[in-house]
Structure 1
Amino acid sequence: MSTATEEAVVTAAADREIRIERVFNAPRERVWDAYTRLEQLIQWWGRGNRVDVERWEFRVGGHWRFVEHADGQSHGFEGRIREIVPRERIVQSFEWDGMPAHVAIDGASFEDLGDGRTRVVTVSQFHTPEERDGMLQSGMAEGLNASYRALDALLAK
């Protein structure tokens, strides 16, 4: 069996979009649970760092807010859930305290590859090309890949 992709493929798919693709070496249901069950999500979401959960309402219209602690700093993230199709898709808003009032809409799709692996594709849409570029320049790809490595470790258990 082939292994998970080492790094997520992050592309500026359109002038206001970022497309992120990553293959995980686990069945879709396991990956879905890691994204939607809080006790698993906090183990990988913040690059494996300590994450305080200020809100977690996993339902359409629900609000979530996490604060990651790393290197003596705190970084807050939050959003609202717009759509849930179990084991297939989650659409939510995403806002990082480092770029306040610059809200992206993230749509994550979970594809069963049929061989025990799952492809997750997330498309983030921004209001302007400048907001998209600001997110790309923020170090988001490095942070995302660190989180995905922590997710790989969780899925390997």
Structure 2
Amino acid sequence: MTSTRTNETRIDVPADVPLVRITREFDAPPARVFRAHVDPELVARWLGPRAMEMRIDHYDCRTGGSYRYLHVGGGAEHGFHGAFHEVRDGELIVQTFTWEGMPDGVALEKLVFTDLGDGRTRLTATSLVDSFADRDAFVAGGMEVGVRESYERLEELLTR
């Protein structure tokens, strides 16, 4: 499938709640976008900044499962881990997310896969943290570049 439109990643940071909401549309049906989030071989091909390699320690994307992975590059290594609280095929993933460089900063994340029809999907990812300071540190820590590059890479994967 070839896209003639450019899908943009929107990152919203509300002033009144310590959360980050990321919205992105993809030129692929929800089942394919969802699979790219639950299949560890596919996740390793798109998640993270282009300049970093992803190494998966474990990735068990099911209700009650967990994950841990590393992003490695430029002499740095960043570990991430969490638990999958609810996984509904093609619809929803609710998980925790912890960057091991800030182990007390746990985010609760909800990913919703919305069928837009015509083989398109809107992904809405909401990350809630326990303080505005943690949210602002998360955003200031280069999250925006990693998120935008990840979703560009995911779009490339889905259109192959």
Could you say whether these structures have the same fold, taking a TM-score greater than 0.5 normalized by the shorter chain as the test? yes
CA distance in 1, matches of 2:17, 2:132: 5
CA distance in 2, matches of 1:140, 1:133: 10
Deviations along 1:75-126, whole A, 9 cap, x unmatched?
A: 1111100111110000000011232210000000000110211100011110
In the alignment, does 2:145 pair up with 1:136? no
Say which SS state the counterpart of residue 138 (structure 1) adopts.
helix
CA distance in 1, matches of 2:28, 2:112: 15
Aligned AA (1:68): H
Q: Quick check: 147-156 or 53-62, which moved more?
A: 53-62
- Alignment correspondent of 2:94: 91
- Alignment correspondent of 1:16: 18
CA contact (8 A) 1:47 1:148 kept: no
Measured after TM superposition, the shift of residue 2 of structure 1 is: 5.3
Aligned AA (2:19): E
CA distance in 1, matches of 2:83, 2:29: 26
Alignment of 1:36-75 (within 5 A): 36-48=38-50, 49-75=52-78
Measured after TM superposition, the shift of residue 147 of structure 1 is: 0.7
In the alignment, does 2:111 pair up with 1:108? yes
Which structure 2 segments of 5+ residues have no match? none
CA distance in 2, matches of 1:57, 1:153: 24
Aligned AA (1:62): G
In the alignment, does 2:151 pair up with 1:148? yes
* Aligned residue among 16, 28, 42 for 2:30: 28
TM-score with structure 1 setting the length: 0.93
Which structure 1 segments of 5+ residues have no match? none
In the alignment, does 2:121 pair up with 1:79? no
TM-score with structure 2 setting the length: 0.91
CA distance in 2, matches of 1:113, 1:4: 16
CA contact (8 A) 1:92 1:106 kept: yes
CA distance in 2, matches of 1:57, 1:30: 18
Percent identity over paired residues: 35
